[in-house]
Structure 1
Amino acid sequence: MAVQRSLFLHSDLRRRPYDMLRSMLAQVDPDTPPHGPDGPVAVLERRMASLLDKDEALFFPSGTMTQQVALRIHADRRGRRAFAAHPQSHLEVWEHRGYSVVHGLRCQPVGDRHRLMTLEDLAAAAEPLAAVVWELPQRDIGGQLPEWDDLIAQTVAMRERGAGLHLDGARLWEAQTYYQRPFGEIAALFDTVYVSLYKGLQGTGGALLAGDGAVIAEARVWRRRLGGDVYDAWPLALAALHGLDTLLPRLPAHRDHAVTIAAAINADGVARAFPNPPQTPLFHVHLPVGPDAAMRAADRMVAATGVELFGRVRSAPAPDRCSFEVSVGENAMTLTPGEVVTLIHELLRRAT
């Protein structure tokens, strides 16, 4: 049976080409040019620079390329090859250490892999740093965020040490629902800001790097060197513009729904949601079964009911436990907290 309902943000349910192409059409008229200052990419770049209150923003085909370019620029400017990041930074866990293979950079993991990076952790990094990366929220530990005053203290301290300040803002849109501050105020803490176009905004792909004019000029050269200067990128820009118009205003409601789902899971007690309450629309659900059993049960659920809970599970130190990520978007908004609890029970029943 095909998926009919899904808790999973990136389910194919809302990503069928026909539906996504219709959303792109909502952003254009017959006279919209594909390129140039009035083309979708340029419009998106200007709009994103304004939203983040940065001089300029530059489109990239992927977040991986975007972040490597930002770190390369910080490293070359300072004559240093090391940057600091959380041990479970996306750069370290999900990108095959491209920063090292392609650019000769070194990551100095800072702090405990199971908790947020702290000022004390950063102070203990003895090596001169080209940059420090903050991932807001920290996806792989449940979407946690540092408190605002802690984040300010960390960025001020690292700036005083001469490091460049880079924001992995793939989920900045979600983080803002907790900080309750304008995007520009959050972005102002950092020299360079990367944002994703296909996570909370549910685009077809792509990313942007925002910063001052000199940084973006350098980034444009690196984009060409790395093969990221896509000529016809307008479809990705149109999908992102649609997300800015329709989904960005919905993110506070997504966070509220995440809080109610997590509360229902924890009140039930058969599984555990963390953090409790979620700070953003993203949190983890910890299950009392191993990953293989959970995936088999999930496949059976889709086949039998057409309901999808997740795309993948994460293993845990204990072999009889695992977890999955919930990132609340429009898919999850169609499921009540009670329905999610019932589905978790059904999953566990099928896993035994």
Structure 2
Amino acid sequence: MEPHATPTDPAQPQRSLSVHGQQRRAPTRRLRDFQARVQDGDLDTYGRGGAVARLEERVADLLGKEAAVFMPTGAMATQVALRLHADARTCRTIGFHPRAHIEVHERKGYEVVHQLHGMLLGDHDRLVTLEDLEAVREPLAAVLLELPQRDLGGRLPSWEELVAQTSWTRDRGVAAHLDGARLWEAQPFYGRPHAEIAALFDTVYVSLYKGLEGLAGAVLAGPFDLVDQAREWRARLGGQLHHAWPLAVSAEIGLDTLAPRMPAFWQRAKELAAVLQDLPGVEVVPDPPQTPLFHVIVPVPPEALAAAHSRFVERRGLELFLYPRPTTSPRSSRFEVTVGENAMAVDPQEVRQALEEVIRDAVR
């Protein structure tokens, strides 16, 4: 998986634009939240009962699915779902975007562990389209769609396009699986209940630690029989934690306090993008943001940007991003802005001035 800190940045920022910034994730803060929430009845045993069962039922109901199962990681949740869809169809080929998390960040687990064959759909630099699906000329067990497409700046297809793509899978007996790690963030764009979005898919995975700021974990939701099989695979893959109640309780806190805030976070993302988009050489992707997540492309190589940002954090105590990423040009780089409560505490104009300062330092 990806790091949540820049190795070259030893400074300890007092404020951060990132939802993963340490300000809201420090252990002492977490313990205070837990003390106000946790009860002895929250105890589970190997994922049975307590807060884990309560969370599973709550997420299944929220997504309109028959059942749900807690998983220690999203990678496990999605790989297990795709394996079960493939087993049910006696077909080992699954289709997904070239920049899907399962392809880029999971070390080919779908192939090495589950003997699945991945078919890349469409182009690296745009969303999957219905035309990409119609161009497929071999059987597929499942199609995975990621909402939003994180490595494309949090882009989302239109509702009409999403319905068309999932209708294509349904008409052909192909399973549709949603990598909904950031479904909480995507929902305001569609303006539809979570269950209406999830209804387009046979199975849905949601993350508990990203936008919800939980400790860790994921939930996989779908039909009763598939969820029962997923529990078996959780045990086979070493994901049967003796006690997972702390992870479930922290997720419940996020569902109560942060999920309802996603429209406000999206609005702040649009405000941040608006003050950055006219900086010389700076590009916001997408413009405007479709979720509380977007990318900023700057005319500075990644190494120079990381060094200048590190110096800025030491001077100002404000973290603009966690780490820079390369682009197709060696003269530019990009970073991700992920808006949560951390970013709500920073004025957009201050962010603009901060980025100007970092860029000036980087190009000296």
Common fold: TM-score over 0.5: yes
Deviation of 1:24 (Å): 2.2
Q: Indicate whether 1:17 and 2:27 are aligned.
A: yes
Tell whether 2:348 aligns with 1:343: no
CA-CA distance at 1:268 after TM superposition:
3.5
The 1-side partners of 2:141 and 2:73 are apart by 22
Aligned-pair CA distance for 1:47? 0.6
SS of the residue 2:113 aligns to: helix
Match of 1:139 among 150, 157, 182: 150
Q: Deviations over 1:139-197 (max 9, x none)?
A: 00111000001100110011112211100000000010100100000000000000000
Which residue is equivalent to 1:27? 37
Once residues 326 and 50 of structure 2 are traced to their aligned partners in structure 1, the CA distance between those partners, rounded to angstroms, is: 44
Report if aligned partners of 2:215, 2:247 keep a CA contact under 8 Å in 1: yes
Partner of 2:216: 205
Give the equivalent residue in structure 2 for 1:111.
122
Q: CA separation in 1, counterparts of 2:353 and 2:234?
A: 47
Aligned partners of 1:152, 1:105: CA distance in 2, in Å? Answer: 26
User: Aligned partners of 1:50 and 1:26: how far apart in 2?
Assistant: 25
> What is the CA deviation profile of residues 234-273 of structure 1, one whole-angstrom value per residue up to 9, with x for unaligned ones?
1111110000011011110000000111011113344211
One-letter code aligned to 1:332: A
Partner Cα distance (1:127, 1:311) in 2? 41
**1:300-339 maps to which residues of 2 (within 5 A)?**
300-339=311-350
**TM-score, normalization by structure 2:** 0.94
Counterpart-to-counterpart distance in 1, 2:49 and 2:35: 16
Structure 2: give runs of 5+ residues left out of the alignment. 1-10
1:154 to 165, 169, 180: 165
Match of 1:245 in 2: 256
Q: How many residues align?
A: 352
SS in 2 for 1:267: coil
State the shift of 1:37 in Å: 6.5
User: Structure 1 stretch 2-11 or stretch 276-285: which is displaced more?
Assistant: 2-11
Query: Within the alignment, does 1:94 sit opposite 2:110 as a pair?
Result: no
Deviates more, 1:69-78 or 1:300-309: 300-309
Cα deviation code 1:195-238 (max 9, x no counterpart): 00011101111000000100101101100100111111111111
CA contact (8 A) 1:197 1:203 kept: yes
Match of 2:300 in 1: 289
- Opposite residue 139 of structure 1, the aligned amino acid is R
2:137 — aligned with what? Answer: 126
What amino acid is the match of 1:235?
P
Q: Residue 221 of structure 1 aligns to which amino acid in structure 2?
A: E
The share of aligned pairs that are identical, in percent, is 53
Corresponding position: 1:5 with 2:5:
no
Q: Aligned match of 2:63 in 36, 52, 63?
A: 52
> In 2, are the aligned partners of 1:270 and 1:345 still within 8 Å (CA)?
no
1:91 maps to a residue whose letter is I
Q: Give per-residue Cα distances to partners, 1:278-312, cap 9 Å, x unaligned.
A: 11101100001000001111111112221111111
Structure 1 residue 30 displacement after superposition: 4.8
TM-score (norm 1): 0.97
1:34 and 1:103 mapped to 2: Cα distance?
A: 29
Q: Distance in 2 between matches of 1:31 and 1:54?
A: 25
RMSD across aligned C-alpha pairs, in angstroms? 1.2
Kept in 1, the 8 Å contact 2:43–2:243? The answer is no
